[in-house]
Amino acid sequence: MLVSLLLLVLATACVISVGVGLWVVGHHFLTAEIPAAIGHPVKLRACHCISQLLTTWGTIFEKMRICSMQFLRFIHDLAPLKKDSDVVVKDLWYGMIPVKLYQPKASSSNPRPGIVFYHGGGGIVGSLKTHHGLCCHLCKESDSVVLAVGYRQMPLHRFPVIVRDCIVATNHFLKSLSTYGVDPAQVVVCGDSVGGGLAMIVYQNLVDSSDLPKIRAQILIYPAVQALDFQPPSYQQNKNVPLLSRNMFFYCWCAYLDISPSWKSTVLKGTQLPAEVWEKYRKWLGAENIPEKFKKRGYLPTPREPLNEAAYLETNIILDLMTSPLIADDEVVSRLPEACIVSCEYDILRDHSLLYKKRLEDLGVPVTWHHMADGFHRVLITLDMGCLYFPCSTRIMNAVVHFMIEL
């Protein structure tokens, strides 16, 4: 009887697993858009299906109250860390914040540049482990000391804990540069996706700290720098392109800021903010700031509808500069350091980079810009993914390393 019951449970589990897998694959082919300009479309489909499968199982387990969003990070972190004989890696703690320190193994008679790295993942799926390979490459190829910040994440920690962790860890690192053999005149902040936004926020919060070394430059890889507008051209053109759809970005946005997903239609129409707020920030967020060549794949301006007062009361946290650093005053942005910005054509966050680039250039801040015509969001993490590797990831890494060397 017991054996029969176990066999029944096993058979049921197999049927459910196959069903979930088929549903994910079917949903992918019905909804995902694979641009023709992206090389290796089969690889991208495979990456997306794997990502969606993990997300679906995470949602199922969350509904069953077995676990929560941590399931995604748990699966991602199962992958073994690759060791690099040329890099020494140390796991440290800055209070409650875990960090990884990467140092070139070869000795140096002079202090090295330092890079504070904030990983992406929307505060949900990224971790020190998912970006370990990137940090090793960055450390070795640029001959720099890299500190990767393992800020605490959802669901246990939301805004503003994630931001504060990054500020605290960076502050601690800047006060310990001599310990790590870092040149205080050559410290750079760097991040991908939400990590790029965190890099901006960290600098803006430390810009007046006279007791700390000045940050030399900022490296932002397809960063998320504003949480107000869901209707720029790239959001319309790339809303169903893997590996970050507009729906997924909205989910991360809600979870990060603890906003109810029920406001989705309101936010997508832009009725969560008063007309005077949109007018105030139009000079920085308006689609007229996006070069016309980036609108050729399709863009339909969306008229602003009347304000939804209830939505405004719940979502106005998006006006906080620690969620939308792009809307900081000119006096702050003009004092930001030289920047290296990487954007990808098939990324819903593409226009974040374009808007930020324009703001910096308008205020006289030097900008080095690299646009990947065949790139998509999260492509950089494929750098060490074996058969799922995309050449675009190497070009991004090379651009970043070259920028570091030329500083």
Its pTM surpasses 0.75:
yes
Given 51, 127, 144, 193, which residue is catalytic?
193
Q: What pLDDT does residue 67 have?
A: 65
CATH classification at residue 324: 3.40.50.1820
- Give me the helices (H) in 224-362, please: 233-237, 246-257, 264-269, 275-285, 309-315, 330-333, 350-362
Q: Tell me if 238 is assigned to some domain.
A: yes
pLDDT tens digits, 69-100: 566 666 666 667 888 899 999 999 999 999 99
Query: Into how many domains does the chain fold?
Result: 2
Indicate if 99 and 186 belong to the same structural domain. Answer: yes
Q: Tell me if 358 is assigned to some domain.
A: yes
Quick check: is 192 catalytic? no
Cα 164 to chain centroid, rounded: 17
Indicate if 183 and 66 belong to the same structural domain. Answer: no
Domain boundary among 26, 52, 76: 76
Q: Tell me if 173 is assigned to some domain.
A: yes
Q: How far apart, in whole angstroms, are the C-alpha atoms of residue 291 and residue 283?
A: 14
Indicate if 281 and 240 belong to the same structural domain. Answer: yes
Q: What pLDDT does residue 19 have?
A: 81
Q: Tell me if 11 is assigned to some domain.
A: no
Q: What's the half-sphere exposure (Cβ side, CA atoms, 13 Å) at 168?
A: 16
Indicate if 72 and 38 belong to the same structural domain. Answer: yes
Quick check: is 142 catalytic? no
Q: Tell me if 204 is assigned to some domain.
A: yes
DSSP 92-153: EEETTEEEEEEEESS--SSPEEEEEEE--STTTS--TTTTHHHHHHHHHHHT-EEEEE----
Quick check: is 377 catalytic? yes
Give which of 200, 263, 272, 196 is closest to 229, Cα–Cα. Answer: 272
Contact (Cβ atoms closer than 8 angstroms) between residue 129 and residue 391: no
Q: What is the DSSP letter of 358?
A: H
Indicate if 46 and 169 belong to the same structural domain. Answer: no
Indicate if 279 and 349 belong to the same structural domain. Answer: yes
Given 48, 119, 370, 377, which residue is catalytic?
377
Indicate if 64 and 128 belong to the same structural domain. Answer: no
Indicate if 124 and 24 belong to the same structural domain. Answer: no
Indicate if 36 and 124 belong to the same structural domain. Answer: no
Tokens of 218: 């900022």
Given 347, 353, 370, 393, which residue is catalytic?
347
Q: Tell me if 5 is assigned to some domain.
A: no
Q: What pLDDT does residue 72 have?
A: 65
Indicate if 113 and 57 belong to the same structural domain. Answer: no
Indicate if 123 and 52 belong to the same structural domain. Answer: no
The domain containing residue 41 runs over which residues? 16-76
Indicate if 291 and 328 belong to the same structural domain. Answer: yes
Q: How far apart, in whole angstroms, are the C-alpha atoms of residue 404 and residue 114?
A: 10
Q: Which ranges of the chain have pLDDT less than 50? A: none
Q: What pLDDT does residue 75 have?
A: 67
Q: What pLDDT does residue 9 have?
A: 65
Q: Tell me if 8 is assigned to some domain.
A: no
Q: Tell me if 7 is assigned to some domain.
A: no
